[in-house]
């Protein structure tokens, strides 16, 4: 990605634009700046070439009307594996190697007190242990081991063996380890879990599928909860538009009403090639000046190559300005139209692929460009619903994995959310069951979920049994009795139900 495009323009709060001379295009750009979108994103949203927009923002910045902040590695910067697919604001891409989990750039999380108690270990090791220990739940297996998502079995093993040699308590046998012993054991256990999951074919497939689903679900959830245009989509759009290589817009007002000349002659230098993204954006000023010089140069070049305008009938300056605006607006409209068509196509493509999340994202973009279109609003609602349903399916897959791995609190949440998007007996029932297995379950919620399941399948004895059990555990004996009796009536042979009935009688 070009570094120029990733600068984020924002308004300078104290600057007064009123009373200053601004051109219409400048005013338009100023009005659209939200302080979040990058130059690239704005360019695609406004239907301008990024270079053109950059020029405008640069000009405004030099006049002190806006400021350009340097690009950050922001949340939509996708992990290397799956461009544009990382969940927003979560899963940090920090590469925590099993060997050196010291996280550069992070404030030292370990408090001084926590680092005491095992002076026989080097401070750096103690710090690494404490930090790793604190982050165990937040790292996925790959991050923990410090390997790529697609790492081979041998790579996983090598990373694991390294970690073992550093974190197994036996390495420090006979040394006073204090509270570090338990921490090392816990860290080791987590490494082993990661290794065991990733080195067995079946469990790795399951885990990978889970991780993909989890990431997709999180992304969709974010999408559904923030109706702002999705930056990743904006970027994709921008790239496509940039590929069309739009002709540069006129740089100075001309008095000719004629249509603009065709594209620049071959001698015209192409827009500056984007500097490598890895280059630190510190030389902002220098680059800006270079750009200005180049643009100035090209201007001169063009002026030199353009023949003088033929003598034209005199027109008043008002007329000329009007014509210019009309021309500019007409051009803008045409481009917008083309874009709308493109976006429309993307929406139907996505829907055809059964990818409502992408469709939703694109529709939102469309809605931005075409506000207050009732038909569009309707479609938006429909696609939003489709996304909900799709997310529900994803959440069900995620929940299954979580339940199988006895992560009941997470599973209960996933099942419950799945049921919200797409009510089903299974989702409601398992949400209730998992909830029961968590620490201090919310019985009211469990009962509500189980009741939903019962409503969907009133003749399923198992559901009634679950509901009865919840009542019993919550101490609502009468309701429990009622449900268990119904369950018994539906399935008179069930040993399970009989067992619970006897338990009920005894309470």
Partner 1 sequence: MDRVIGIDLGTTNSCVAVMDGDEAVVIPNRGGYKTTPSIVAVTEAGKRLVGHIAKRQSITNAENTVAAAKRLIGRKWNTAPVKSALMTCSYGIVEGPHGDVRIQLRDKTYSVPEISSMVLQEMRVVAEDYLGEAVSKAVVTVPAYFNDNQRQATKDAGAIAGLDIIRIINEPTAAALCYGFGKGVDKTIAVYDLGGGTFDVSILEIGAHGVFKVIGTTGDTFLGGEDFDARIIDWLVAGFQDEHQIDIRKDRMALQRLRDAAEKAKCELSSVRETEINLPFIVSTGRNEALHLQRSLSRETLERLCEDLIERTVDICRQALVEAKLDADEIEDVLLVGGMTRMPAVQRAVTEFFQREPNRGVHPDEVVALGAAIQGAALVDDKHEMILLDVTPHALGIMTFGSYFEELIPQNTTVPTSRAKIFTTSRDHQTAVKILVMQGESKQAGDNELLGEFVLTGLRSAPKGQVEIEVTFEINTDGIVSVHAKDLETQQAQSIQVTASSGLTTDEVQSMIEGAKEYMVERRTDEEFEGAKQSAETLLAELEAMLPEVDRVVGGADFGRDAVTKARQVIERTQAAMDRRDTAALKEQLEQLARTQRMFKGVVARGG
Q: Which residues of the shown chain bind partner 1 in the complex (CB under 8 A)? A: 157, 161-162, 164-165, 168-171, 173-174, 181, 185-186, 188-189, 192, 196, 200, 202, 437-440, 472-475, 477, 499, 503, 506-507
Among 336, 343, 91, 367, which residue's Cα sits nearest to residue 229? 367
Q: How far is the CB of 206 from partner 1 (least distance, A)?
A: 13
Q: Tell me whether residue 187 or residue 214 sits nearer to partner 1 (CB atom).
A: 187
Q: How far is the CB of 454 from partner 1 (least distance, A)?
A: 20
For partner 1, give the closer residue by CB, 185 or 221: 185
Residues 6+ apart with CB under 8 A from 257: 315, 320, 323, 327
Which residue number, 187 or 242, has a Cβ lying nearer to partner 1? 187
**Which of 112, 154 has the CB closer to partner 1?**
154
- The minimum distance between CB 476 and partner 1, in angstroms, equals 9
CA distances from 393 to 358, 398, 422, 453 (A): 16, 9, 8, 17
Q: Closer CB to partner 1, residue 50 or residue 98?
A: 98
By beta-carbon proximity to partner 1, the closer residue of 157 and 426 is: 157
Contact 485, 474 (CB under 8 A): no
Here the contacts of 456-463 (C-beta below 8 Å, separation 24 or greater) are 456/423, 456/424, 456/425, 456/428, 457/425, 459/490, 460/425, 460/490, 461/486, 461/487, 461/488, 461/490, 461/491, 461/494, 461/497, 462/429, 462/487, 462/491, 463/425, 463/429
Beta-bridge mates of residue 9? 68
Residue 395 Cβ, how far from partner 1 at the closest point, in Å?
24
- Min dist CB 237 to partner 1, Å, is 47
Q: Name the residue nearer to partner 1 (CB basis): 171 or 345.
A: 171
Residue 193 CB, nearest distance to partner 1 (Å)? 9
Minimum Å gap between C-beta 366 and partner 1 is 49
Instruction: Quote the least distance from Cβ 155 to partner 1, whole Å.
Output: 13
Residue with tokens 């599973």: 411
Closest CA to 401 of 211, 210, 212: 210
What CA–CA distance (Å, rounded) separates 460 from 331?
Answer: 64
Give me the count of residues in the chain: 507
Please, which residues bridge with residue 10 across strands?
A: 67
Which one, 202 or 314, has the nearer CB to partner 1?
A: 202
- Least separation in angstroms between residue 415's CB and partner 1 is 18
CA distances from 419 to 165, 413, 414, 464 (A): 45, 10, 9, 18
User: What burial class does residue 363 get, using C-beta atoms within 10 Å of its C-beta: 0-12 exposed, 13-18 middle, 19+ buried?
Assistant: buried
| Beta carbon nearer to partner 1, 191 or 415 | 191
Instruction: Please give the distance of CA 480 from its chain centroid, rounded to a whole number.
Output: 44
């Amino acid at each position: 990605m070009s570094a120029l495009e990733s600068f984020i323009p924002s308004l300078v709060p104290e600057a007064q634009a009123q009373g200053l001379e601004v051109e219409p295009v400048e005013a338009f750009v100023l009005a659209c700046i939200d302080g979040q979108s990058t130059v690239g994103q704005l360019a695609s949203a406004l239907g301008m070439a990024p270079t053109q927009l950059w020029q405008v923002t640069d000009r405004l910045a030099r006049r002190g009307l806006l400021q350009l902040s340097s690009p950050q590695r922001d949340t939509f910067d996708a992990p290397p594996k799956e461009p544009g697919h990382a969940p927003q604001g979560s899963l940090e891409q920090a590469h925590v190697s099993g060997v050196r989990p010291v996280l550069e750039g992070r404030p030292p999380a370990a408090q001084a007190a926590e680092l005491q108690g095992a002076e026989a270990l080097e401070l750096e090791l103690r710090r690494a242990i404490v930090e790793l220990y604190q982050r165990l739940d937040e790292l996925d297996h790959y991050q923990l081991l410090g390997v790529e998502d697609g790492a081979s079995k041998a790579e996983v093993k090598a990373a694991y063996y390294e970690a073992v040699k550093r974190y197994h308590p036996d390495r420090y046998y006979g040394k006073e380890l204090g509270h570090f012993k338990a921490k090392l054991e816990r860290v080791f256990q987590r490494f082993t879990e990661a290794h065991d999951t990733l080195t067995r074919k079946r469990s790795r497939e399951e885990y990978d599928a889970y991780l993909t689903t989890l990431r997709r679900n999180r992304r969709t959830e974010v999408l559904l909860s923030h109706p702002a245009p999705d930056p990743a989509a904006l970027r994709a759009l921008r790239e496509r538009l940039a590929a069309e290589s739009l002709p540069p817009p006129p740089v100075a007002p001309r008095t000719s009403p004629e249509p603009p000349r065709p594209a620049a002659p071959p001698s015209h230098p192409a827009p500056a090639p984007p500097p490598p993204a890895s280059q630190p954006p510190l030389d902002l000023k220098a680059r800006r000046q270079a750009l200005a010089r180049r643009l100035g140069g090209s201007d001169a070049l063009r002026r030199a190559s353009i023949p003088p305008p033929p003598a034209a009938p005199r027109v008043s300056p008002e007329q000329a300005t009007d014509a210019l605006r009309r021309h500019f607006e007409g051009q803008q409209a045409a481009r917008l139209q083309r874009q709308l068509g493109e976006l429309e196509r993307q929406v139907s493509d996505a829907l055809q692929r059964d990818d409502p999340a992408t469709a939703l994202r694109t529709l939102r973009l469309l809605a931005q460009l075409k506000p207050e279109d009732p038909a569009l609003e309707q479609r938006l609602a429909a696609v939003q619903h489709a996304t909900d349903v799709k997310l529900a399916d994803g959440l069900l897959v995620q929940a299954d994995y979580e339940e199988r791995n006895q992560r009941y609190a997470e599973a209960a949440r996933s099942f419950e959310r799945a049921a919200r998007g797409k009510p089903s007996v299974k989702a409601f029932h398992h949400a209730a069951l998992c909830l029961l297995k968590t620490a201090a379950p919310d019985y009211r919620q469990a009962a509500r979920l189980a009741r939903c399941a019962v409503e969907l399948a009133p003749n399923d004895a198992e559901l009634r049994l679950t509901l009865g059990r919840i009542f019993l555990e919550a101490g609502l004996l009468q309701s429990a009795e009622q449900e268990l009796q119904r369950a018994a009536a539906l399935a008179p042979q069930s040993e399970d139900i009989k067992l619970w009935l006897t338990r009920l009688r005894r309470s």
